[in-house]
Amino acid sequence: MIAGFARKRRVIAGVLALAALLSGCAAPRGGRGGSTELGSALAPVAPVEVAVLALNDFHGHLEPPRQSVGMPDGQGSTAQVPAGGAAWLASALDALRARHAHTLTVAAGDMISASPLASSLFLDEPAVEVLSRIGLDYAAVGNHEFDRGTRELLRMQAGGCEKLTLREPCQLERFGGARFQYLAASTRTAAGAPLFPASAIRTFGTGVRQVKVGVIGLTLKGTPTLVNPAGIADLTFADEADTINAEVPRLKAQGADAVIVLIHQGGRAAGLPDPNGCTGFDGEILPILGRLAPEISGAVDLVVSGHTHADYVCELPTADPARPVLLTSAGQYGKELTEITLTIDPALHRVTARRARNLIVQSQPFTSARGPVVRSALVPQYTPRGDIAAYVQRYVDAAEVFATRPVGKLAGPAARGEGGMGGPLGNLIADAQLFATRSVGAQMALMNPFGIRAALVPASDGTVTFGDIYLAQPFGGALITQTMTGAEIKAVLEQGFDDVGPDQALAPSAGFAYRIDRRQPVGSRVISITLGGKRLDPAATYRVTMNAFLAMGGDGFTVFTAGHDALTGPLDIEALEALLRSAPRLAVPMEPRVTVSAARE
């Protein structure tokens, strides 16, 4: 079908060339999208620019997340820029839209769930409303959109106050639903139909300068391993590449001049922080793009990605050397926006040029686990948009009684790790889980590093609030303590370094330590495991605590499902609060418990 479109374009070009020779002759009116005189039809048709404004992995961060974005400072070092917050994001979008006649605002999934209290306490209704108010047009469905189950996600789109979870909906106002459209080409119901529309087309311009932009949205095939399977039992998740290969011809048949793919899958660039870098890029998105049919990869003009919370702008090779694929991602939490400009030839019905850049949504300074982060003159400073700020504040005020409640004191900040490591905060969380489950025989606890969302930074007097610990650990999963053999424990640690997805070193509780040598073959990279200073016995059994997500095989740690004699304990956040209350001023466990002796190539 794509080849047919190429033939059609050659015929159109030939007709225009012949018409140029007959410029003195009369001709009937007519043109795409409206009527025009022959003289204007024969004149060169100016290209049409469409700006695509993209974000991903917002996760309900209505307020600035107290995080920064690293960027080159022009002096050979890295500057950290405070960024994020819905009101600042709204102003940044307004500024970008003012620069372009035609804009389309899109998102690549995980816009809700794993959210701070001001959104999470209210089932992410305020996050959906904010995204609607700032002008989001289309969003792919990420894995976290399914955290509360299929029916609750459908409510996010359609609105209403039906109670489908333990928490009450519509606490502050009636929820009207998203005014943007979710797209889910690869997510199928039991009847075989897409859960949401697979794609959409947006038209820009009029007459001979009318162009159509097609948008496909899809989530990652591995979603069932990332959420509670009971909530999505009625759904199937098709292969991403197969879905794109099938959907692009449908959009072309409907007249799409440009095709955008929104996909909740991604990768990471290597090297120093650079929002627009692509050096050493790797990730699960690559094999998906590599399996696009040659005629399809040449027809995809832009891929907006997410899931990894990384930022990058890449031109990646495809089967057609003349048509590399433009791949972008805007980090996380609304700290960045990607501005992509597509130049479309309305006569040839194709994109003739494109450019992209990630822009930092600079907001207010804050104090991180490593010290103050101040505003930077390297990027624009945005003023928070008043209406969005007022709306957000309404929900922040409603959540304040929960957020400001003191839960204990820390002797210093607990930073989360980088590169798939749990860091001091991972140690602290694992210690809390062991502390909360020793009474049921737990001997160790293991915490997934990607379940840690923000550093734990106490106030100047050491006070830590419930809002602080919720920001660090927002999932609210129950703790599971079960029996596993030493061999099974080794196998689950190996899964963190099996070259399937990014490295993940499960953070262990005090007294448990292990070493990884990435130079060894997959399955043999855990070269040492000790508990209480003694080597772990492969044949012996141990009581191990983890969160319910891991117990179900989440984040790819499927060996956890082999455990038995499982007991359900308190919520993970309750365990962390209990540990903080156990000492007047709790020390942060800084010692390295996991050693990785060689980096991944």
Give the pLDDT confidence score for residue 323 in this predicted structure.
85
pLDDT in tens, 60-104: 999 999 999 999 999 999 999 999 999 999 999 999 999 999 999
Give the pLDDT confidence score for residue 178 in this predicted structure.
98
DSSP 216-235: EEE--TTGGGTS-GGGGTT-
Instruction: Name the residue with tokens 């004699």.
Output: 565
Q: Helix 423-437 vs helix 572-581: angle between axes, to the nearest 10 degrees?
A: 90
- Sorted by sequence, the CB contacts under 8 Å of residue 384 that are 6+ apart come out as 85, 87, 88, 90, 91, 363
The arithmetic mean of pLDDT across residues 159-163, rounded, is 97
Identify which of 339, 360, 281, 288 has the alpha carbon closest to the alpha carbon of residue 315: 281
Q: Hey, what domains does the chain have and what are their CATH numbers?
A: 46-387 (3.60.21.10), 406-596 (3.90.780.10)
DSSP 337-389: EEEEEEEEETTTTEEEEEEEEEEE-B---EEETTEEE---TTS--PPPPHHHH
Three-state secondary structure call for residue 85: coil
Q: Kindly report the average pLDDT of the chain as a whole number.
A: 91
Asked which of 168-177, 374-383, 484-493, 553-562 is least confident by mean pLDDT, the reply is 553-562
Residue 458 · residue 369 · CB < 8 Å: no
pLDDT in tens, 183-236: 999 999 999 999 999 999 999 999 999 999 999 999 999 898 788 778 899 999
Give the pLDDT confidence score for residue 364 in this predicted structure.
96
- Sorted by sequence, the CB contacts under 8 Å of residue 474 that are 6+ apart come out as 114, 115, 116, 117, 120, 453
pLDDT category of residue 397 using cuts at 50, 70 and 90: very high
* Residue 258 parent element (H or E): strand 258-263
Asked which of 30-44, 90-104, 315-329, 387-401 is least confident by mean pLDDT, the reply is 30-44
pLDDT in tens, 572-586: 999 999 999 999 999
pLDDT category of residue 599 using cuts at 50, 70 and 90: low
pLDDT category of residue 601 using cuts at 50, 70 and 90: very low
pLDDT in tens, 520-549: 999 999 999 999 999 999 999 999 999 988
DSSP 260-309: EEEES--EE--SS--TT--TT-EETHHHHHHTS-HHHHTT--EEEE-SS-
pLDDT in tens, 316-355: 988 777 889 999 999 999 999 999 999 999 999 999 999 9
Give the pLDDT confidence score for residue 13 in this predicted structure.
42
Rounded-to-10 torsion of CA 301, 304, 310, 316:
-20
pLDDT category of residue 167 using cuts at 50, 70 and 90: confident
pLDDT in tens, 411-423: 999 999 988 999 9
Three-state secondary structure call for residue 507: strand
Q: Which residues of 261-298 are buried (b: 16+ CB within 10 A; e: fewer)?
A: bbbbbbbbbeeebbbbbbeebebbbbebbeebbebbbb
Q: Does the pLDDT value for residue 462 go beyond 60?
A: yes
pLDDT category of residue 600 using cuts at 50, 70 and 90: low
Give the pLDDT confidence score for residue 144 in this predicted structure.
92
